[in-house]
Amino acid sequence: MPFQSNSSDAKSIKIVVVGAGSVGVTTAYALLLDRLAADIVLIDVDKNRAQGEAMDLSHAAHFAQARVRVGDYEDCAHAAAVVITAGVNQKPGQTRLDLVKTNYALFKEVVPRVAHHAPDTILVVATNPVDVLTHAALQLSGFPVERVIGSGTAMDTTRFRHELGRHFGVNPRNVHAVILGEHGDSQLPAWSLASISGMRLRDYCEAAGVEYDEAALEGCARRTKEAAYEIIRRKGKTNYGVASVLVSILQPIVTDSDAIMTVSRVGAYGGVEDVALSMPCKLNRSGAYQDVPLRLSESEQQALRQSALSIKEVLDSLEDQPCVLEDQQYSLRAEL
Ligand SMILES: NC(=O)c1ccc[n+]([C@@H]2O[C@H](COP(=O)([O-])OP(=O)(O)OC[C@H]3O[C@@H](n4cnc5c(N)ncnc54)[C@H](O)[C@@H]3O)[C@@H](O)[C@H]2O)c1
Ligand SMILES: *[C@@H]1O[C@H](CO)[C@@H](O)[C@H](O)[C@H]1NC(C)=O
């Protein structure tokens, strides 16, 4: 994104990244290159390493005219957004849901502190399992639902468009297609909504004289779902894709641009209440809104319900431990 009309606003914009590991620092670097914020703060339990990262990033920041520094939770005050990337990540063969206990315990420590110092900020959660932790972050912060956003299937949607673009030989920008539901194994491709150049896929194939190859298209969805496993098997983690997705979520928040993206938010889906998963949301300065109309097919609605149920099952398995948040007792499953 080139330096643009928001450049004057960027002067006062602060973005905090909690967790200066691989995803956190790659995100900070992508933020710098996009010139989205003037002040980037890294918070990590490993202060020494975070300091090293901040120093290194500062030398890149010199050209981007932003400041990168290590901070503490007080520094979350007045942040436009706080991105949470702290936590353990998948080992080869592990699912995202395997991480839940460790990262939920970490969220109990981190989220109330962020919320205390930055009661008006927007939380953007990347830590996995991202849907479960988006739900936890809502409960632990006490924020309104639109201000707790999980990166969700924004990553999968990007991968899916990339796969379809390759299959059809068109730029992914010109492919409109979304992955909904869990950022994980129960996600679903919304085939009924997919389009190229304003035409549904079947119409596009017919008009272009190419075969609507169902097996090949299923292959695109399968590679989308398995991409993270494949990358982790080869290099042990993922960082570049998710970092640029996080920046593309922060961008409409900071610039108040009403972009529609598939991000995770707590809501009711397919008759399953109080669960977070991804649907198209409108993003602006006040957060993520589900006022984007969506007409799914019958089988897609069923798949969405299944996805919601599988996330709900993990939420229910978390022990119902109360936590103290500014003199009030909240429990994970309490209705807010
Ligand atoms: N949503 C996505 O699309 C996506 C993609 C990739 C990774 N992830 C997730 O992001 C998380 C981080 O992955 P990573 O590869 O950067 O891991 P990493 O190990 O490189 O970094 C994690 C960082 O968190 C810090 N940390 C641990 N406990 C903390 C605490 N209490 N407070 C502050 N910081 C703390 C660690 O010191 C470390 O620097 C994982 O949960 C991973 O699964 C999500
Ligand atoms: C963001 O969008 C929502 C829903 O459409 C709207 O209610 C809200 O006022 C918008 N916020 C801003 C700052 O424009």
Residue type, 267: G
Average pLDDT over residues 72-83: 98
Q: Which atom of ligand 1 is nearest to the CA of 96?
A: 43
User: Which ligand does the CA of 159 lie closest to?
Assistant: 1
265 CA → ligand 1 middle, Å: 20
pLDDT at residue 10 is higher than 90: no
Cis peptide bond N-terminal to 322, omega within 30? no
Chain segment 124-161, per-residue pLDDT in tens:
999 999 999 999 999 999 999 999 999 999 999 999 99
- Cβ-in-10-Å burial (0-12, 13-18, 19+) of 170 comes to middle
Q: What is the pLDDT of residues 179-190, one digit of tens each?
A: 999 999 999 999
Chain center to CA of 219? 24
- Give the position, in ligand 1's atom list, of the atom nearest the Cα of 43: 33
Ligand at minimal distance from the CA of 285 is 2
User: Measured from the CB, is residue 256 less than 6 Å from ligand 2?
Assistant: yes
- DSSP, collapsed to helix, strand or coil, labels residue 75 as helix
pLDDT value of residue 11 = 66
**Both structure tokens of 235:** 């290099």
Q: Which atom of ligand 1 is nearest to the CA of 50?
A: 39
Give the pLDDT confidence score for residue 1 in this predicted structure.
38
Nearest CA to ligand 1 atom 33: 44
Q: How far is the CA of 239 from the centre of ligand 2 (A)?
A: 31
Does 22 show up as a binding residue in the annotation? yes
Alpha-carbon Rg for the chain in angstroms: 20
Percent of all residues in the chain with a pLDDT value above 90, rounded to a whole number:
85
Q: How far is the CA of 290 from the centre of ligand 2 (A)?
A: 11
Is pLDDT at 334 greater than 60 in this prediction?
no
The verdict on whether 183 is a catalytic residue reads yes
Q: Which residue is catalytic, options 117, 135, 162, 183? A: 183
pLDDT of residue 269: 96
Helix-strand-coil split of the chain, %, nearest 5? 50, 20, 30
In terms of Cβ atoms closer than 10 Å to its own Cβ (0-12, 13-18, 19+), residue 268 is exposed
